[in-house]
């Protein structure tokens, strides 16, 4: 494993490698979900790279940039299992030097769901990912399906700006009780952690109704809300049934694949999760 702290060092390492490179952008505090992305990148390419960068641009003023969990030493120990891996750990100053003023905005796809509750979030994500793509020059890039809107925004950006990169969505990794793995799960107290699988239970309840033939978007939203309402520690920000491609909220009867998603606050943690219905698995 080679750790590069500067853009220059990363470019030099990249230039030494021919063949395909698979890239996993992360904000660190790695868990099994990240490791599943790294394993795919390693298995499907000649070389692989991981970035660890807590991107200030994608956090709102009242969000958790300062508190976001960080443990570089532990992350590097986990990644050291991969012999030829390049790990990129740039500083904020390297990514956003004084005078930085160029941003990437993916328009419609960034508006709803997370974008509506976190203004500027996807502008921050698209900007940092575009810059990382330019620096790392991967052939393939791996993102978790847990952040479904992020994945859609990145795919759109890659199409629109003609990055020669294949974007690969990797299924959400869950704990045995269904909770989607997330660095922010570390905010949960033991009592809150016990409550947190309610998100997945709500999604599964709606998925079951869909499997029984329910196609009314509001009925599916109501199913999810009812499960969440039974958990006193869960404070619902939104529950959504949206078109899986456009991410526009569905009204009336579903006529294609739909993204069932939600954001729920449990204690200090803002948790998101989703399931897609209406596609062949």
- Give the C-alpha distances (Å, rounded to integers) separating 237 from 15, 184, 197: 45, 16, 16
The three-state secondary structure class of 42 is: helix
Shortest reach from residue 125's CB to ligand PAF, in Å:
5
- Crossing angle of helices 148-160 and 121-136, in 10° steps, is 60
Q: Which stretch binds ligand PAF (CB under 6 A): 21-29, 171-179, 220-228, 267-275?
A: 21-29
Residue whose pair of structure tokens reads 């045995």 in the numeric block: 176
What is the distance between the alpha carbons of residues 140 and 137, in angstroms, rounded to a whole number? 9
Q: Edge to edge, what strands does the sheet with 47-52 contain?
A: 2-4, 86-88, 47-52, 21-26, 140-144, 166-170
Q: Looking at beta carbons only, is 55 or 274 nearer to ligand PAF?
A: 55
Shortest reach from residue 271's CB to ligand PAF, in Å:
14
Q: Looking at beta carbons only, is 45 or 58 nearer to ligand PAF?
A: 58
Q: Looking at beta carbons only, is 69 or 278 nearer to ligand PAF?
A: 69
- Are 1 and 83 a contacting pair, CB within 8 Å? yes
Q: Which stretch binds ligand PAF (CB under 6 A): 42-50, 92-100, 123-131, 172-180?
A: 123-131
Neighbours of 166 (CB within 10 A): 15
Of 31, 34, 47, 98, catalytic: 34
User: Can you tell me which of 10, 41, 104, 128 binds ligand PAF, judged by CB under 6 A?
Assistant: 128
Q: Which stretch binds ligand PAF (CB under 6 A): 124-132, 173-181, 202-210, 266-274?
A: 124-132
- Give the C-alpha distances (Å, rounded to integers) separating 27 from 65, 91, 183, 212, 249: 11, 12, 9, 39, 29
* Residue 25 touches ligand PAF, criterion: CB under 6 A: yes
Shortest reach from residue 26's CB to ligand PAF, in Å:
5
- Are 67 and 42 a contacting pair, CB within 8 Å? no
Residue whose pair of structure tokens reads 């702290």 in the numeric block: 5
Q: Looking at beta carbons only, is 21 or 27 nearer to ligand PAF?
A: 27
- Are 72 and 28 a contacting pair, CB within 8 Å? yes
Q: Which stretch binds ligand PAF (CB under 6 A): 22-30, 111-119, 185-193, 245-253?
A: 22-30
* Residue 110 touches ligand PAF, criterion: CB under 6 A: no
Of 138-177, binders to ligand PAF (CB under 6 A) are: 147, 150
User: Can you tell me which of 55, 89, 137, 207 binds ligand PAF, judged by CB under 6 A?
Assistant: 55
Shortest reach from residue 146's CB to ligand PAF, in Å:
9
Q: Looking at beta carbons only, is 25 or 115 nearer to ligand PAF?
A: 25
Query: Which residues pair with residue 132 across a beta bridge?
Result: none
Task: Note if 121 is an active site residue.
Answer: no
* Residue 129 touches ligand PAF, criterion: CB under 6 A: yes
Q: Edge to edge, what strands does the sheet with 258-266 contain?
A: 234-243, 258-266, 269-277
Q: Just list the catalytic residues.
A: 34
């Amino acid at each position: 494993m080679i750790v590069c702290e500067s853009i220059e060092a990363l470019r030099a390492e990249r230039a030494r490698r021919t063949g395909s490179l698979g890239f996993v952008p992360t904000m660190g505090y790695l868990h099994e979900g990240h490791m599943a992305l790294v394993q795919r990148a390693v298995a499907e390419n000649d070389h692989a790279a991981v970035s660890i960068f807590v991107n200030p641009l994608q956090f709102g003023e009242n969000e958790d940039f300062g508190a976001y969990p960080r443990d570089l030493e532990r992350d590097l120990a986990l990644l050291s299992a991969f012999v030829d891996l390049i790990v990129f750990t740039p500083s904020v100053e390297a990514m956003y030097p004084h005078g930085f003023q160029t941003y990437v905005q993916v328009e419609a796809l960034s508006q709803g769901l997370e974008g509506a509750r976190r203004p500027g979030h996807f502008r921050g994500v698209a900007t940092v990912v575009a810059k990382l793509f330019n620096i790392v020059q991967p052939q393939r890039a791996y993102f978790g399906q847990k952040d479904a809107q992020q994945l859609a925004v990145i795919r759109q950006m890659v199409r629109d700006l003609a990055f020669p990169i294949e974007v690969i969505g990797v299924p959400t990794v869950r704990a045995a009780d269904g909770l989607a793995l997330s660095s922010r799960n570390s905010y949960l107290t033991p009592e809150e952690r016990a409550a947190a699988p309610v998100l997945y239970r709500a999604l599964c309840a709606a998925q079951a109704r869909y499997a029984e033939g329910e196609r009314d978007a509001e009925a599916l939203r109501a199913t999810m809300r009812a499960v969440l309402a039974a958990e006193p520690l869960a404070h619902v920000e939104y529950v959504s049934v949206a078109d899986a491609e456009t991410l526009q909220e569905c009204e009336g009867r579903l006529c294609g694949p739909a993204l069932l998603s939600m954001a729920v606050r449990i204690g200090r943690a803002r948790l998101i999760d989703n399931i897609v219905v209406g596609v062949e698995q």
